[in-house]
Structure 1
Amino acid sequence: MTSEEALKEIKRLSEVIDHHNYLYYQESKSEISDYEFDQLLQQLIALEADFPEHKSEDSPSQRVGGTITKNFDTVVHTYPMLSLGNTYSKEELMEWDERVKKGLGTDDYSYFCEMKFDGVALSLTYENGLLKRAVTRGDGTQGDDVTANAKTIRSIPLRLKKEVPEKFEVRGEVFFPKHEFERVNAEREDLGEERLANPRNAASGTLKMQNSSIVASRKLDCYLYYLLGENLNVSSHSESIHRLEDWGFHISQTYKKCSSIEAVLEYINYWETKRHELPSETDGVVIKVDSIHQQNELGFTAKNPRWAISYKYKAESASTVLESVSYQVGRTGSVTPVANLKPVLLAGTTVKRASLHNANEIARLDLHLGDTVFVEKGGEIIPKITGVDTAQRLAVSAPIEYINHCPECGTELVRKEGEANHYCPNTDGCPPQIQGKIEHFIQRKAMDIDSLGSETIRGLLDHGLIHNYADIYDLSFEQLNGLEFKTFSEKKGDFSVRSIREKSANNIIKAIEISKETPFERVLFALGIRYVGQTVAEKLAQHFGNIEALASADFEALIAVPEIGERIAQSVLAFFEDSRNRAIIDKLNRAGLRFEVEQIAEAASDVLTDKTFVISGVFTEYSRDDLKEAIKANGGKVVSSISAKLDYLVAGDKMGPAKLEKANKLGINIISEAEFIQMING
């Protein structure tokens, strides 16, 4: 066969395979058997192997995988992947509807209802009709690039056949179909391997596997549900869903547009039992305001859109026996009681343990050893004990009494006034607290020293090489190379010995050195100050500028920072009053970590001081990012949404009509790029 003949045959086979793939996922039809389909695919793979110059990045052969990904690149989302607020009662849903009505100032709106599939959120970016990138949700701001694995999911189009926008993003849920999950588990049992726990966790783990051929073998599926991009010219969510259907995306046919909250409740009632017939596990319904203009009008909170909410169905329940209670100590010293249960199958998973939260919960439930308890999954995810069948309680069973001393170090526990939890105050001598603080310090959102894992940290602590997270920066290659330590395998129920090899030792030292470039706000978060999460750390870092100013701040200075309350302020004060913490910070400072915010370039002027701007559209003199920097450099502030408090809307070509309409309605000053340049030039 000549190269030209091979190209012609490759194109023919690709078209035939794509056709049958489309029929199966979009039309629920099969014109050929699975065997015949696989034979076509094998013919294509063989041809592409003989003529690799004709293999394209959207070839159906990508579906079988084969790519090995050692590390998944981190990608910042163009549009944040925010989570939805949850409600578990129809009364709360009605209250949300009232807030929507009040926010819009009208009752002229409709809702779009979709089933909430229990899987893994995924963002797909298409350019010129070709799938370019697939990224997990991650922390909502950034996620992992899993493009090679996503290409193995046959319901995700690699190339769109119809005319589509030059660039857009579509989001969906990757899930493990029930029948495929059972098939894989049956195969694992035959091989003597442990069964996968549940479809959701299995889908998440599969999507992050290094070998894409294994991903392909598990036959994941994906429903798409959200279209994003510039100048899409859609006025409603329902319109965007119909457009995605027309372009060839796999959309669950369970959706419905509802004209009222009463119609939404009917939809919820219909699917409460009907949902168990669907191919994927579901845990609720997503309700969205349909009009995109009204979505923009309602806007967002810090974490959730105000125009959408998730209704969760009541969790499944089961009864089992409480065999014992153990206690776990966290990095902050908080002691959490855990119920050890006789294994029971619940919502597709085997439940062996459940959190008891605190002493108050144990007292409320009046728990006794050997009790028959009712267990359910909160939101069908986290097991919890909801009650006790006292009729089955044995007369000799003893009540559970909360412990008085730390189960790890023996220190007497304390309970602060107004708090439900007990704490171990031995912050520097309690092993799980020490390890927990170090694990928090090295995590991805903090110092991102990913070469260090929990077992390695435990080994370093056992060998006395580190005593706190500052000691990490004293580690040398010679100390790490060949270091042996014990690890415990829950599956085998026994310890084994591991060692750090030369390559791993080099990677650890390299990752530690790279971490010194971490910006101050993340270093501050890494310190593990109680109640100081990512957002609070950013606010404190930006307000005080450096660690010295923050450490010297008094109570009044701390609560003067926006969104910093008394509890956070007291915690920050207590942290810096502890001489041990100050000594650790001094050591980290000497190691070269960044303890001040990056110097911002000197302001060009103050002509825009106290003025707020929204940017929309495409510009000729500036990129959007450069325009934002120009506004900041001249004293102004860039915000994301239009409100009555906005000063200016900088309008470029192809700007969104919804923003323009809202700005006109509110009487906002709308200026062009040229007018903006004139403004900053005086």
Structure 2
Amino acid sequence: MESVQDKITHLRTLLRHYEYQYHVLDEPAVPDAEYDRLMGELRELETEHPELLTTDSPTQRVGAAPLSAFEQVRHEVPMLSLDNAFDEESYLAFNKRIQDRLKSGDDLTFCCELKLDGLAVSLLYEQGELVRAATRGDGTTGENITANVRTIRAIPLRLSGDNIPARLEVRGEVFMPLAGFEHMNDRARRGGQKVFANPRNAAAGSLRQLDPRITATRPLTFFCYGLGLLEGGEMPRSHMGRLQQFKAWGLPVSDRVRLCHSPSEVLAFYHQVEADRPALGFDIDGVVIKVDSLEQQEQLGFVARAPRWAVAFKFPAQEQITTVRDVEFQVGRTGAITPVARLEPVLVAGVMVSNATLHNADEIERLGLKIGDRVVIRRAGDVIPQVMSVVESADGAREIVFPTHCPVCGSDVERVEGEVVARCTGGLICGAQRKGALKHFVSRRALDIDGMGEKIIDQLVDKEYVKNPAELFELTAGKLTGLDRMGPKSAQNVVDALAKAKQTTFARFLYALGISEVGEATAANLAAHFGTLEALMAADIDALMAVQDVGKVVASHVRNFLDEESNREIIRLLVEKAEVSWPDVVVVKAEEIDSPFAGKTVVLTGSLSILSRDDAKERLQALGAKVSGSVSKKTDLVIAGEAAGSKLAKAQELGVKVIDEQEMMRLFGE
């Protein structure tokens, strides 16, 4: 007679086999009802005999207790990013770099795979059992998401097959198929709950749930695409061979993989995948191209943040056609009036788009756009919707009339010569500009007033408690307590933050004023050049144009702002009444600073993990660097963090030196 132990072992083996057939081979062997029946039988036996329960049992995917926080995990082998190619020219440049570096004349074979649009994860197996799962994080340290990953049925809790290594770490992508995403969002809508914007956000949000029982309800799946760590075992010496080995051990691998022996074959595969993209059933954003030979990979090695032997060949931004229903005009904090197209909602790159910026009157004229036209919409970089062209002008389409008076306050609209932007002349009497100016003034990069969020500013302006930045410092805890969701403790915290913000820097003060075209870098240059507020206030156009990177347009904006009596009065109130102050600026020339960054033009790109972007920028400027927002022939150095994109590609194209964050910290002396 079969023992309970034997029965449990048989059920576990059977269920693992069915999971392998379903998730890896995509060949379901039994109906879902039969699978559920066997799972129920196993669960009942394990409940009756808890001493026979094991962590790798198919019943143990969902843990019972929610976590309080995610534990940090250090990757034994860093999870690097890939460099990007955005067009055929940049892909061919990658291919040439490979050929030039190898110099062997050997035939090159590339393994081409889908670039999945989900969340990269690491899976660690010991003696064939899943013991840890982690996110990529910054590439060196990620978050332990083991409890959540165990709920994903495509991921085996125990590997199957022969010659399984003692320790094996694989990398892959957790993602959400489109059908599951739509079903999940439909269910959320019916329940009056918040829906996810796209499958990638849904996958990321599902994996970062503290309660794995929630993750278990989400339709997540997984494809394995690479090796991280191998101990006590062997693997094939080609990437394709490794993918096949992963599959033999029960790890799901995409079947859209091809070996290509020439650039023309790679491009053919790329274009075929691009054409098939809508029918795949899940989101991808390109093709990953890897040198197949492990020997050649080892010869090629790595750059600061990525392997030389692989590249992500990204697809162009997705486009759709829709109709312009109307055009409205928004007023920004500097009075800039921006036309916004209201569209017939359309799904573009996984996001429902109903608005698109038209930038300015010149852009409307360039497009020849009218209300009612059929237009091409693109999410540039798969993020920002914009109107690309008019494909059909409808009968009865209406001309777009740019306003001559502000749609918020009714003040005149003017367009400064040499600028494409039209602006409201109302200044702080304009409610839109007042709110925008105050929100900018308190923002983190300006005066950094903690607790003074957008909704608080909206209420303060709507209730007419505050009309200009100086009046913020007159607020009391009692007055703030009268605002929605503002209790006595929160109100006092804001008052304390206002008091703290009175001690700032000259550069932050200038930036906080919100002078048109004066960003952080320009504010820092003005502060360093003039040293005092009095010297800046007295400067004429020529003196302003002597400042680094200040041209005639910026100089005119600064001078016009300082000539406006209401602005001068606000500055006076801030300094004399509110007592906003800063230490004297010591003007030091770049050539006098002993630093490898002195006098260099530096660009930051990607996500930093050790310092915030703002902190890194301040450190670089203190060491004499000019921090720029774009890469050009004048750029001396690019510092690339995680997920660096087009700026890194531009730097590589121009031959600009690139370092990673660790090297930056070393040059800082840390």
**Cα root mean square deviation, aligned:** 6.5
Paired residue for 1:28?
A: 26
Alignment partners' CA distance in 2, 1:375 and 1:482: 44
Paired residue for 1:309?
A: 312
Structure 1 position 267, deviation (Å): 0.7
Paired residue for 2:131?
A: 130
Paired residue for 2:358?
A: 356
Structure 1 position 217, deviation (Å): 1.6
Structure 1 position 177, deviation (Å): 1.1
Paired residue for 2:174?
A: 174
For residues 531-578 of structure 1, give each alpha carbon's deviation from its aligned partner in whole angstroms, at most 9, with x where no partner exists: 9999x79xx89xx9xx999x99x999985xxxx998999899999989
Distance 1:371 1:208, change over 3 A: same
Alignment partners' CA distance in 2, 1:430 and 1:55: 69
Structure 1 position 377, deviation (Å): 4.3
Residue type matched to 2:178 in 1? K
Residue type matched to 2:313 in 1? S
Alpha-carbon contact 1:116-1:283 (below 8 Å) kept: yes
Alignment partners' CA distance in 2, 1:472 and 1:331: 17
Alignment partners' CA distance in 1, 2:430 and 2:572: 19
Distance 1:354 1:295, change over 3 A: farther
Alpha-carbon contact 2:288-2:310 (below 8 Å) kept: no
Structure 1 position 428, deviation (Å): 5.8
Distance 1:421 1:514, change over 3 A: same
Alpha-carbon contact 1:339-1:354 (below 8 Å) kept: yes
Structure 1 position 116, deviation (Å): 2.5
Alpha-carbon contact 1:295-1:307 (below 8 Å) kept: no
Alpha-carbon contact 1:284-1:310 (below 8 Å) kept: yes
SS in 2 for 1:30: coil
Alpha-carbon contact 1:203-1:220 (below 8 Å) kept: yes
Structure 1 position 454, deviation (Å): 4.5
For residues 435-458 of structure 1, give each alpha carbon's deviation from its aligned partner in whole angstroms, at most 9, with x where no partner exists: 567777998999999987644553
For residues 570-607 of structure 1, give each alpha carbon's deviation from its aligned partner in whole angstroms, at most 9, with x where no partner exists: 899999989899899989x99999999xxxxxxxxx9x
Alignment partners' CA distance in 1, 2:110 and 2:283: 23
Structure 1 position 305, deviation (Å): 7.6
Residue type matched to 1:213 in 2? R
Alpha-carbon contact 1:17-1:41 (below 8 Å) kept: yes
> Does structure 1 residue 385 correspond to structure 2 residue 415?
no
Alignment partners' CA distance in 2, 1:48 and 1:75: 32
Matched residue count = 569
> Does structure 1 residue 296 correspond to structure 2 residue 301?
yes
Distance 1:193 1:407, change over 3 A: same
Paired residue for 2:341?
A: 339
Structure 1 position 323, deviation (Å): 1.9
SS in 2 for 1:264: helix
Deviation larger for 369-378 or 65-74: 65-74
Paired residue for 1:679?
A: none
Structure 1 position 31, deviation (Å): 4.0
Alignment partners' CA distance in 2, 1:451 and 1:220: 37
Alignment of 1:150-549 (within 5 A): 150-157=149-156, 162-163=164-165, 165=167, 171-188=171-188, 198-208=198-208, 211-228=211-228, 238=240, 241=243, 244-245=246-247, 248-290=250-292, 291-293=296-298, 296=301, 307-312=310-315, 315-320=318-323, 322-330=324-332, 334-344=336-346, 350-378=352-380, 382-390=384-392, 392-394=394-396, 397-410=397-410, 420-422=420-422, 454-459=454-459, 461-463=461-463, 483-484=483-484, 499-500=485-486
Alignment partners' CA distance in 2, 1:47 and 1:504: 54
SS in 2 for 1:392: coil
TM-score relative to the length of structure 2: 0.61
Alignment partners' CA distance in 1, 2:206 and 2:489: 26
Alignment partners' CA distance in 1, 2:513 and 2:488: 29
Alignment partners' CA distance in 2, 1:164 and 1:404: 74
SS in 2 for 1:217: coil
Structure 1 position 367, deviation (Å): 1.3
Alignment partners' CA distance in 1, 2:19 and 2:218: 17
User: What residue ranges of structure 2 are gaps of 5+ in the alignment?
Assistant: 537-542, 586-593, 599-670
Paired residue for 1:645?
A: none
Distance 1:555 1:524, change over 3 A: closer
Alignment partners' CA distance in 1, 2:507 and 2:229: 30
Alignment partners' CA distance in 2, 1:451 and 1:9: 61
Paired residue for 1:490?
A: none
User: What residue ranges of structure 1 are gaps of 5+ in the alignment?
Assistant: 485-498, 597-605, 611-682
Distance 1:506 1:338, change over 3 A: same
For residues 59-108 of structure 1, give each alpha carbon's deviation from its aligned partner in whole angstroms, at most 9, with x where no partner exists: 65564466556777898999576575352x54554455446556766775
SS in 1 for 2:321: strand
Residue type matched to 1:131 in 2? R
Structure 1 position 368, deviation (Å): 1.8
Alpha-carbon contact 2:124-2:133 (below 8 Å) kept: yes
Deviation larger for 502-511 or 328-337: 502-511
Paired residue for 2:612?
A: none
Alpha-carbon contact 2:166-2:231 (below 8 Å) kept: no
> Does structure 1 residue 114 correspond to structure 2 residue 113?
yes
Residue type matched to 2:359 in 1? H
Residue type matched to 2:400 in 1? I
Distance 1:67 1:413, change over 3 A: farther
Residue type matched to 2:181 in 1? F
Distance 1:280 1:501, change over 3 A: farther
Alpha-carbon contact 1:113-1:256 (below 8 Å) kept: yes
Alignment partners' CA distance in 1, 2:358 and 2:92: 31
SS in 2 for 1:85: strand
TM-score relative to the length of structure 1: 0.60
Alignment partners' CA distance in 1, 2:468 and 2:72: 28
For residues 419-476 of structure 1, give each alpha carbon's deviation from its aligned partner in whole angstroms, at most 9, with x where no partner exists: 6444567776665566567777998999999987644553455456777899999988
